[in-house]
A and B are shown apart, each in its own frame.
Chain A
């Protein structure tokens, strides 16, 4: 595990001075504005949590970071490039540097879990090191399920498979939407350890979660900051946690 992560660790230092930057961003799905006046910059190697009530726009925020949604106002910059100005192939290349764990993890249901996990490598013509893959699956507790098809997994197993897929190509940025939503506390801590380890290698981490215990546990290990969405605004919620 650590072998795989440290191999790619060197790459992290090459990135610019802001991994993600929002400049006065607003977003609406067509009706009223869901987010407005959002300004923010995530430094390389930072660790952030994103909280807020259900429906506040956490998932929406992560999708704006990933280029799946385009801001209705303002600019979103990923790796120092305005997402709006990047063509489709360019966006695809940028996404290879971003690991995304969606809230509703989606897979290619006809391919086994192990193949799904290595997919980010396959689509760029690379192959996963079998040892790395087996270490990774072991760490997320999916060794037994490597050959299973995604529809045969439980909700928590899907989340772990999605996390494994998100970090297999050792991304510079990890966006995770409720990655521990369906997990027991032990497994949550185990995944947190993995995220902290990634962060120590210089990866930038942004996790949307409701889980205050997880945030507290993280704060004992890394310098994690907490962002909160309240009434369409993004604010820093540091001291009160």
Chain B
């Protein structure tokens, strides 16, 4: 078994001995670094997508779903009576933490974006709104609807869930896609490194044969390749992460618009999360190269 300590020692200790055994390669090295960089760059976006989708899903399914509204449309004279009836019903409904009719001011503020600030609420047949905040496990919307129909015929329960549910589900699915992409990107990194390592091992087969013949053990020979590919991958992916973070940081914030893009950046300590990618890619490269080297060496007596 290989211990983490010995792996880290191998990577950090300057070891020209083992490494110079393998002739330096020109373009191969840059292609590996470039691929690792691109993969890390894409992985940062996949990560950002997952986190954003996660935040969106949480917000839609949790925070927003905790409130709903009851709309009361009635003759002006009957509005107050209906509001009272609705409030009475709500008072005796389990799972409701708070309920309160919106004031005219609040309704005006809600409608202002569409109809302008000086809306004559009294002269227009605008429905009265009651805002409900759920508590505990929430209420049973069907039961409440039936009771409202009996007590206050002008009242309609709008529990948002009807249109919010698919959105929350879509956001969850998006989060899953993000994580799936992340895993695929890491797997592709492993595949690319394996291809590069195989090419390098094949090109250096005569070197491996000589080393085997003079008594070098497989682990020693593999180390030269493993060290090289792991360091290249670490360097490439660190660069990729840096570039991706700068790109995200420079993306104009859509915070105010409350749109989908709101969450695509990282927040707070989230900016540190992508830095897990270089060591992760490095670990993938380490394992892939080591496996490839031992496979190649097994062909040699």
- The secondary structure that dominates the B interface is helix
Contacting pair A100 B21 (CB below 8 A): no
Contacting pair B20 A111 (CB below 8 A): yes
Contacting pair B215 A120 (CB below 8 A): yes
Q: Annotate B166-190 by CB proximity to A: 1 below 8 A, 0 otherwise.
A: 0000000000000000000000000
Q: Give the number of residues in B that approach A within 8 Å (Cβ atoms).
A: 22
Separation of A148 and B269 alpha carbons in the complex (Å): 56
Contacting pair B210 A106 (CB below 8 A): yes
Give which listed residue, A69, A89, A98, A165, contacts B217 with CB less than 8 A.
A89
Contacting pair B215 A92 (CB below 8 A): yes
B147 CB-CB contact with A under 8 Å: no
Separation of A153 and B121 alpha carbons in the complex (Å): 101
Give which listed residue, B206, B211, B213, B297, contacts A100 with CB less than 8 A.
B213
Q: How far is the CB of B148 from chain A (nearest CB, A)?
A: 80
Contacting pair B211 A123 (CB below 8 A): yes
Give which listed residue, B207, B213, B297, B298, contacts A68 with CB less than 8 A.
B213
Contacting pair A89 B218 (CB below 8 A): yes
Contacting pair A108 B210 (CB below 8 A): yes
Contacting pair A68 B301 (CB below 8 A): yes
Separation of A107 and B20 alpha carbons in the complex (Å): 14
Separation of A39 and B216 alpha carbons in the complex (Å): 30
B1 CB-CB contact with A under 8 Å: no
Separation of A125 and B220 alpha carbons in the complex (Å): 10
Separation of A66 and B209 alpha carbons in the complex (Å): 13
A122 CB-CB contact with B under 8 Å: yes
Give which listed residue, A68, A88, A123, contacts B214 with CB less than 8 A.
A123
Contacting pair B210 A88 (CB below 8 A): no
Collect the chain B residues with CB atoms within 8 Å of residue A100's CB.
Answer: 213-214
Separation of A181 and B20 alpha carbons in the complex (Å): 31
Contacting pair A106 B216 (CB below 8 A): no
The A-contacting residues of B in range 20-53, CB under 8 angstroms, are 20-21, 23-24
Contacting pair B17 A122 (CB below 8 A): yes
B164 CB-CB contact with A under 8 Å: no
Do A106 and B209 form a contact, CB below 8 Å, given A69-B301, A70-B301? yes
Collect the chain B residues with CB atoms within 8 Å of residue A48's CB.
Answer: none
Contacting pair B215 A93 (CB below 8 A): yes
Separation of A124 and B220 alpha carbons in the complex (Å): 9
Q: Interface of A with B (CB < 8 Å)?
A: 66-70, 88-89, 91-96, 98, 100, 102, 106-111, 119-120, 122-125, 165
A-B pairs, 7 with minimum CB distance: A96-B215, A123-B216, A95-B215, A110-B23, A92-B217, A120-B214, A68-B301
